Amino acid sequence: MNLKLAIQKSGRLHEDSIKLLNDCGIAVKSSGSHLRTVADNFPLEVYFLRDDDIPQYVEDGVAHIGIVGENVLYEKEKKAAIIEALGFGKCRLSIAVKKTDEYGTAHFLQGKKIATSYPVLTQKFLNENKIDAEIHEISGSVELAPGIGLADAVCDLVSSGSTLFMNGLREVQTILKSQAVLVQHDSLGEDLLKIVGQLLFRIRAVKRAKNTKYVLLNAPNDALQKIISLLPGMKSPTVLPLADSGWSSVHSVLNEDEFWEKIEALRDAGAQGILVVPIEKMIV
C-alpha cells in the first residue's frame, strides 16, 4: 500500500517539498509534465497539484497527506489537520496601502475597496475589527490594483517586501504568519498511519539536523571544565585525548540560534582549532 502525498506542481513550495523528500532519503523527481510519480524506495505516491486544490484533496482523502502553506489551508477552510510545520515557504498575509496614505488603525479601511486573493481571511479580519469594506477578489498581480485605481488597499502575501515597494505600497498590518505545513486526512487506517509515522520520523530528523551544527575543537586540559560547561552536546560533549599531552579534543552539537555567541565564549575560554560541520540527520 502506498501513502498518497499531494505537493505543489510548480511555484514557491515545489522545490522545497521535493528537497525535503530527497533529504529524507525518498527518491522522488521533480514533476516535469508528469502529474503523479511513485517513489523508488519508500511506499509513497506523489500527486503534483495547484496549491489551492491541496486542502480539498486531503479533506476528501484522495490524497492522504499534503504539503501546503497555512495561508491556503486557512483560506480554504477544509478539514485537514496540521501534523508538522516544515519551516519553509515562510511569508505573511498583510494589508498594504499606498505609501502616501496615512493608515493609523484598521478603521482606515472603512468603506474602502480591498483587492485580494484571500477573501475569506480578509473578511475575517474585517469582521474582527468591525469594519465594513468591499472585497475585490483577484487571483494574481494583486499589488497592481491600487496603482491602477482598482482598489484602495490590498491584502496579499509578503516576504521580502520588494513587490510592495516596487508597486508604491506600504505594509501596514499583518493578519497571518504562514509557513508550509504537512497536513493529514482525518481518518487514515492503521497501515497508512504507520507510513505517516515513518515519514514524520525522517522529517523530524532532517529538521533537527538543519538547526544544529557539529563542533570539534582543541582545548588545554586546564580549560576543559569551563569549555564543557559551555557545550550542551546531545547527552554531554565527547572528550578525547590529543597526542600532545595536556590537550584534549572536544566534540559537541550546537544550536544554530546560539551558535555565534557560544563560539565566542569558547574562544575566550581557550578553545583553539574550532571546526564546524553540518549535520545531515539527527536522531535523538
Ligand X SMILES: Nc1ncnc2c1ncn2[C@@H]1O[C@H](COP(=O)(O)OP(=O)(O)OP(=O)(O)O)[C@@H](O)[C@H]1O
Footprint on this chain of ligand PRP (rule: CB under 6 A): 12, 140, 143, 156-163
116 binds, among ligand PRP, ligand X, Mg ion, none (CB under 5 to 8 A by kind): none
Taking the least distance from each CB to ligand PRP, the nearer of 59 and 143 is 143
Q: CA nearest 193: which of 185, 205, 204, 202?
A: 185
Considering only residues 21, 91, 175, 196, which one is a binding residue for ligand X as defined by CB under 6 A? 91
* Closest residue to ligand X, based on beta-carbon distance: 69
CB of 143 to ligand PRP, least distance (A): 6
Q: Which residues contact 225 (CB under 8 A, 6 or more apart)?
A: none
Taking the least distance from each CB to ligand PRP, the nearer of 114 and 230 is 114
The footprint of ligand X on residues 145-164 (CB under 6 A) is 157, 159
Report CA 27 to chain centroid distance, whole Å: 21
Taking the least distance from each CB to ligand X, the nearer of 10 and 229 is 10
Considering only residues 5, 8, 183, 202, which one is a binding residue for ligand X as defined by CB under 6 A? 8
Strands (E), the chain: 3-8, 36-38, 44-49, 65-69, 81-85, 91-98, 113-116, 134-137, 153-158, 169-178, 180-184, 212-220, 238-241, 247-255, 272-278
CB of 93 to ligand PRP, least distance (A): 10
Contact 172, 97 (CB under 8 A): yes
- Using the rule CB under 6 A, give the single segment among 23-31, 44-52, 213-221, 251-259 that binds ligand X: 44-52
171 binds, among ligand PRP, ligand X, Mg ion, none (CB under 5 to 8 A by kind): none
Burial tier of 120 (Cβ tally within 10 Å: 0-12, 13-18, 19+): middle
281 binds, among Mg ion, ligand X, ligand PRP, none (CB under 5 to 8 A by kind): none
Contact 126, 132 (CB under 8 A): yes
CB of 171 to ligand PRP, least distance (A): 9
CA–CA separation, 38 and 191 (whole Å): 18
CB of 9 to ligand X, least distance (A): 6
Q: Please, what is the Cα angle at 204 between 235 and 256, to 5 degrees?
A: 60
Enumerate the β-bridge partners of residue 180: 69
Task: Give the torsion through C-alpha atoms of 41, 45, 48, 54, to 10 deg.
Answer: -130
The helix/strand/coil state of 250 is strand
CB of 199 to ligand X, least distance (A): 21
Taking the least distance from each CB to ligand PRP, the nearer of 158 and 199 is 158
CB of 120 to ligand X, least distance (A): 14
Amino acid found at 266: L
CB of 91 to ligand X, least distance (A): 4
162 binds, among Mg ion, ligand X, ligand PRP, none (CB under 5 to 8 A by kind): ligand PRP
